[in-house]
Amino acid sequence: MSLRPILLVEDNPDDEKLTLRALAKNNIQNEVVVAHDGVEALDFLFGGRNPPPAIVLLDLKLPKIDGIEVLRQMRAANPTKLTPVVILTSSKEDQDLIAGYELGANSYIRKPVDFLQFTEAVRQLGLYWLILNEPPPR
Protein backbone atom coordinates (compact mmCIF):
# COMPACT_ATOMS: atom_id res chain seq x y z
CA MET A 1 0.00 0.00 0.00
CA SER A 2 1.43 3.32 -1.12
CA LEU A 3 1.68 5.89 1.63
CA ARG A 4 -0.61 8.86 1.35
CA PRO A 5 1.21 12.15 1.29
CA ILE A 6 1.54 14.65 4.08
CA LEU A 7 0.25 18.13 3.19
CA LEU A 8 2.38 20.79 4.86
CA VAL A 9 0.72 24.23 4.63
CA GLU A 10 3.48 26.69 5.52
CA ASP A 11 4.38 30.06 4.03
CA ASN A 12 7.68 30.62 5.83
CA PRO A 13 10.52 28.98 3.83
CA ASP A 14 12.66 28.58 6.97
CA ASP A 15 9.88 26.83 8.82
CA GLU A 16 9.24 24.74 5.74
CA LYS A 17 12.83 23.62 5.58
CA LEU A 18 13.02 22.94 9.31
CA THR A 19 9.78 20.97 9.26
CA LEU A 20 10.92 18.90 6.29
CA ARG A 21 14.19 18.31 8.08
CA ALA A 22 12.44 17.21 11.25
CA LEU A 23 10.18 14.86 9.31
CA ALA A 24 13.17 13.35 7.46
CA LYS A 25 15.12 13.01 10.66
CA ASN A 26 12.33 10.95 12.14
CA ASN A 27 12.27 8.60 9.17
CA ILE A 28 8.83 9.57 8.09
CA GLN A 29 8.56 8.08 4.65
CA ASN A 30 5.42 9.74 3.36
CA GLU A 31 5.81 12.17 0.52
CA VAL A 32 5.49 15.74 1.80
CA VAL A 33 3.58 18.18 -0.38
CA VAL A 34 4.08 21.81 0.54
CA ALA A 35 1.43 24.46 -0.02
CA HIS A 36 2.69 28.01 0.54
CA ASP A 37 -0.65 29.66 1.14
CA GLY A 38 -4.28 28.81 1.66
CA VAL A 39 -5.10 28.94 -2.02
CA GLU A 40 -2.42 26.36 -2.90
CA ALA A 41 -3.64 24.17 -0.06
CA LEU A 42 -7.27 24.28 -1.23
CA ASP A 43 -6.12 23.69 -4.79
CA PHE A 44 -4.25 20.56 -3.74
CA LEU A 45 -7.14 19.31 -1.63
CA PHE A 46 -9.98 20.08 -4.01
CA GLY A 47 -8.24 20.18 -7.38
CA GLY A 48 -9.33 16.62 -8.04
CA ARG A 49 -5.82 15.47 -9.01
CA ASN A 50 -4.69 14.16 -5.67
CA PRO A 51 -5.88 11.62 -3.15
CA PRO A 52 -6.70 13.07 0.27
CA PRO A 53 -3.51 13.39 2.32
CA ALA A 54 -2.74 11.20 5.31
CA ILE A 55 -2.49 14.31 7.44
CA VAL A 56 -2.50 18.06 7.01
CA LEU A 57 0.04 20.10 8.98
CA LEU A 58 -1.62 23.47 8.91
CA ASP A 59 -0.13 26.85 9.78
CA LEU A 60 -2.73 29.46 10.68
CA LYS A 61 -1.26 32.72 9.47
CA LEU A 62 -1.08 32.38 5.73
CA PRO A 63 -1.18 34.69 2.73
CA LYS A 64 -4.41 34.98 0.68
CA ILE A 65 -6.54 32.47 2.60
CA ASP A 66 -5.65 31.77 6.22
CA GLY A 67 -5.46 28.40 7.91
CA ILE A 68 -8.73 28.73 9.75
CA GLU A 69 -10.55 29.21 6.45
CA VAL A 70 -8.74 26.23 4.91
CA LEU A 71 -9.87 24.15 7.87
CA ARG A 72 -13.44 25.38 7.54
CA GLN A 73 -13.62 24.42 3.87
CA MET A 74 -12.04 21.04 4.55
CA ARG A 75 -14.58 20.22 7.23
CA ALA A 76 -17.43 21.30 4.99
CA ALA A 77 -16.44 19.06 2.08
CA ASN A 78 -16.88 15.35 1.90
CA PRO A 79 -13.48 13.95 0.90
CA THR A 80 -11.62 16.01 3.49
CA LYS A 81 -14.20 16.08 6.26
CA LEU A 82 -12.42 13.33 8.20
CA THR A 83 -8.83 14.01 7.20
CA PRO A 84 -6.66 14.50 10.30
CA VAL A 85 -5.57 18.11 10.63
CA VAL A 86 -2.81 19.16 13.00
CA ILE A 87 -2.53 22.89 13.48
CA LEU A 88 1.15 23.75 13.64
CA THR A 89 1.55 27.38 14.43
CA SER A 90 3.39 30.04 16.43
CA SER A 91 0.30 31.36 18.15
CA LYS A 92 -1.14 30.11 21.37
CA GLU A 93 -3.72 32.85 21.61
CA ASP A 94 -7.01 31.57 23.00
CA GLN A 95 -8.92 32.83 20.01
CA ASP A 96 -6.87 30.64 17.64
CA LEU A 97 -7.09 27.58 19.85
CA ILE A 98 -10.84 27.96 20.16
CA ALA A 99 -11.38 28.59 16.46
CA GLY A 100 -9.16 25.64 15.57
CA TYR A 101 -10.88 23.17 17.84
CA GLU A 102 -14.34 24.48 17.05
CA LEU A 103 -13.77 23.83 13.39
CA GLY A 104 -12.67 20.28 14.13
CA ALA A 105 -8.89 20.39 14.21
CA ASN A 106 -7.58 17.07 15.53
CA SER A 107 -4.63 18.56 17.31
CA TYR A 108 -3.02 21.90 18.00
CA ILE A 109 0.74 22.20 18.37
CA ARG A 110 2.64 25.37 19.03
CA LYS A 111 5.96 25.21 17.24
CA PRO A 112 8.69 25.32 19.89
CA VAL A 113 11.59 27.69 19.24
CA ASP A 114 14.03 25.02 20.39
CA PHE A 115 14.69 22.96 17.27
CA LEU A 116 15.34 19.82 19.28
CA GLN A 117 11.95 20.18 20.95
CA PHE A 118 10.42 20.87 17.57
CA THR A 119 11.99 17.73 16.12
CA GLU A 120 10.67 15.76 19.04
CA ALA A 121 7.18 17.20 18.52
CA VAL A 122 7.26 16.24 14.86
CA ARG A 123 8.49 12.78 15.76
CA GLN A 124 5.62 12.29 18.16
CA LEU A 125 2.98 13.60 15.85
CA GLY A 126 4.32 11.46 12.98
CA LEU A 127 4.34 8.42 15.24
CA TYR A 128 0.89 9.11 16.49
CA TRP A 129 -0.98 10.23 13.39
CA LEU A 130 0.82 8.16 10.76
CA ILE A 131 1.45 4.96 12.66
CA LEU A 132 -0.56 4.57 15.86
CA ASN A 133 -3.73 6.23 14.81
CA GLU A 134 -6.20 4.32 12.64
CA PRO A 135 -7.21 6.73 9.91
CA PRO A 136 -10.81 6.97 8.79
CA PRO A 137 -11.65 4.57 5.95
CA ARG A 138 -11.20 5.94 2.46
The answer to whether residue 90 forms part of the interface with other proteins (CB under 8 A) is: yes
* 12 lies in the site for other proteins, by CB under 8 A: yes
Amino acid making up residue 37: D
Q: How far is the CB of 126 from other proteins (least distance, A)?
A: 17
Say whether residue 21 binds other proteins (CB under 8 A).
Answer: yes
Can you tell me which of 29, 63, 79, 92 binds other proteins, judged by CB under 8 A?
Answer: 92
Q: Residue 110: what residue type?
A: R
* Contact pattern for other proteins over residues 46 through 75, marking x by CB under 8 A: ---------------x--------------
Q: Which residues of 42-58 are buried (b: 16+ CB within 10 A; e: fewer)?
A: bebbeeeeeebbbbbbb
Check residue 1 for interaction with other proteins (CB under 8 A).
Answer: no
Distance of CA 19 to the CA centre of its chain: 11
Q: Does residue number 118 form part of the binding site for other proteins (CB under 8 A)?
A: yes
Q: Which residues bind other proteins (CB under 8 A)?
A: 12, 14-15, 18, 21, 61, 89-93, 111-116, 118
